[in-house]
Structure 1
């Protein structure tokens, strides 16, 4: 499996652009809103406060997802301008949409809003250029010199990341390793400076600030000897444990009862993330339910008139932590299978009713699952729940299959918006779906959830792979 040191953030690996994209841009936009309201003579009233809060949450999410500050040092003026305009246009579209839905549009004068929307992009661009110049000056001072102990995939990748991220203000001097040169990775860019016995003298003579030790646990005696020899230096020392040879999910450092532990496989929804995920689910599900209530009532009537049987189909699925839950769907078939063997729907399946075919094509049969979201059994975005019979089959055939249950199942998911919607008639298709589910666990953010929701509308309209 591929190792990825980016999954755990070390103390030095916190780029300044996290501050820029998450806080500075929204604050600039809100500051301009305040100035415009004062200039126009309206004053900063209660409706401005509501608009400011909405702007902060939308812009911080969009700017975080698109990351217009990424690699700004390598961008020219036009590319920076294009990035700012694209991102701000997305923010404006979302603001207009929510403003229309919430009835905020009538509370502001047209020239006030237009002036604010037009002023913001050039000010954001100016701030980006100024901070780019300032950060370039800072990078020329205070550079920390780094050496890496051990040449392997992990240490080589760390050297590459340091080289690619000037915001870290670190410079790798080279590697130290007792192994023969011929055993070292071909992709190594930084020179080999010597063996482990040469490290203390080199660190003292060259004022090395930081040392990263990337050695297996089996090398513990050598590491202990090295640490003893480095005690008369001022270098900061970090250890890169070889746990990264595993495929990590939401890995991080933590402590239990004061003892340090390393999370190898964890749910992304812990602590504040759990509150954000659940809060967004409740708000969005409530709004969607209110908007679609007439549609759901019409579907219920059509199902009842079209064929005998219940309107709602209840099926056992695996939910959070692999516990069984009951999932609701509008009935789209003449049968309600929920036994030890469940046959997936296929193209031209004779069991599908006339109204059921339309519901499955448009995914309207999934609408009752918003009640599951409000119950806490499901989430709007997450791995799609499979029938219990399918889970028992695939958990034995696909490695890591059950890890998808570390989060609540979703109405839509990362796999579905990437073309893996509907029937999985081969093991390869199911493996691909699980790969996307696990990738979602590794990459989760609120911005990714919103992106998946937007992509879902497009996928549903194309009506591919659903029958």
Structure 2
């Protein structure tokens, strides 16, 4: 057990106070750097376009408006909050979104007053791209420098972990494996909720001992990694540290629960932890709807000649309708009719429906061709335009199979927190057709938990490559 003497944590944490006092100054420097880059790239783009770095009449006012928008919108996107614990990639992605929003707002405002034609499009485009690159480099360089400083123990926070639960071990390992975060877990407090597998972090005693001595050696932060039923222990710890300048963070041990997009929010001033929900809500749902409708309209427009030829092929190859309509379960468990080009005779399912085994199902000669090439799926873009389906999402299933699978596969119904999709995270990883359904659901839930526009675009771009392999397609 690690033996602590009075003042241990206070003494070691005092080494970090110089940088801690100037954290606000660092944020100011980052803001100044952002503004400087925006102005500099405007001048460089003007030089490249017109041969002079000095902005022509009217352009300085545009730069001023952009600077004001940067000062207003960048903080809203959280670009000046603490970097501790967030990956550089996520920071740069948020910066790219914020800068794009600034330029969109500028163009919309200029269009509203009918002055957008007064400015060179080449200059504005070069300015946008140049600033995007330099702002990304600015943040990446700042992260590297600050991460290097923290990895050497400067500006680090000394942390004591209360509870070696699964959550506790995971967060302690993450802190120790990423020294750039500057979070040094120096010890853990033993509790009745600890799990058998231990940790490399030394023990500082049980909860009673720690509470008795916390006034003498309070750390910078205390991470409480206890299950929700440990409210009595958590309250004791909060009471014992109520007069200490120590940050207390709750890392609830929620492993073992079926969680989906868990997060903390406030409702009417009351903190609420969401244990299960969808990331695709509010603004995200609007963005995804715009993405779906715009891409689907473009695809239908470009492929309409191909779809007409396919419809003709279906009609000539066998009697019956062009479209095959299936009842599927979509968002919030609501039924909708999913469209496909018919690839089978009209009476093939008169004796019942069996999941899977698609390769042995009857199909017309033309139907087998469109099924193998996945061309039978093209009418589903009409479902997307109707708002029943998304381009990217978990593959929707037929109602009778949902009733079977939800009793056998944990978390199966969670995929209905979002719209079903034509393609998805599971499909681009080869989980199409007759594949492991439990594994497919695991990939679907990963998609829901990590959704972003960028992930959707990545899946869309990778889908044609997967289709060319023709694996598990019938």
Common topology (TM > 0.5): yes
Q: What's the CA shift for 1:281?
A: 0.9
Unpaired runs of at least 5, structure 2: 1-32, 67-76, 78-85, 91-119
**Equivalent residue in structure 2 for 1:223, among 228, 234, 245:** 234
Name 1:145's counterpart in structure 2. Answer: 158
- Separation (CA, whole Å) in 1 of partners of 2:362 and 2:448: 35
Deviations 1:155-196 (A, max 9, x none): 12111122233454322121111459xx76444011101121
Task: Give the SS at the match of 2:214.
Answer: helix
The reply on whether 1:171 has 2:184 as its aligned counterpart is: yes
Deviations 1:39-74 (A, max 9, x none): 23188999xx9xx9xxxxxxx9xxxxxx99469xxx
- Separation (CA, whole Å) in 2 of partners of 1:356 and 1:334: 9
Alignment of 1:28-107 (within 5 A): 32=41, 35-41=44-50, 69=88
- Is this contact kept in 1: 2:164–2:198, CA < 8 A? no
Unpaired runs of at least 5, structure 1: 1-23, 53-59, 61-66, 72-106
The reply on whether 1:390 has 2:397 as its aligned counterpart is: no
The reply on whether 1:327 has 2:338 as its aligned counterpart is: yes
Name 1:318's counterpart in structure 2. Answer: 329
Q: What's the CA shift for 1:34?
A: 6.3
- Is this contact kept in 2: 1:149–1:175, CA < 8 A? yes
- Is this contact kept in 1: 2:405–2:412, CA < 8 A? yes
The reply on whether 1:193 has 2:204 as its aligned counterpart is: yes
Task: Give the SS at the match of 1:328.
Answer: strand
- Separation (CA, whole Å) in 2 of partners of 1:345 and 1:179: 48
The reply on whether 1:272 has 2:279 as its aligned counterpart is: no
Q: What's the CA shift for 1:278?
A: 1.3
Distance 1:250 1:31, change over 3 A: farther
Name 1:446's counterpart in structure 2. Answer: 453
| TM, length-normalised to structure 1 | 0.72
- Separation (CA, whole Å) in 2 of partners of 1:30 and 1:299: 54
Distance 1:322 1:340, change over 3 A: farther
- Separation (CA, whole Å) in 1 of partners of 2:176 and 2:351: 55
- Separation (CA, whole Å) in 2 of partners of 1:260 and 1:389: 40
Distance 1:414 1:126, change over 3 A: closer
Task: Give the SS at the match of 1:377.
Answer: coil
Name 2:93's counterpart in structure 1. Answer: none
Deviations 1:427-452 (A, max 9, x none): xx222222221222222222211111
The reply on whether 1:240 has 2:251 as its aligned counterpart is: yes
**Equivalent residue in structure 2 for 1:455, among 447, 453, 462:** 462
Deviations 1:107-158 (A, max 9, x none): 999xx99999999989966874465225534665432221111222211211
Q: What's the CA shift for 1:397?
A: 2.1
Distance 1:172 1:344, change over 3 A: closer
Task: Give the SS at the match of 1:396.
Answer: helix
- Give the total of aligned pairs: 392
Task: Give the SS at the match of 2:242.
Answer: helix
Name 1:367's counterpart in structure 2. Answer: 378
- Is this contact kept in 2: 1:315–1:338, CA < 8 A? no
Name 1:133's counterpart in structure 2. Answer: 145
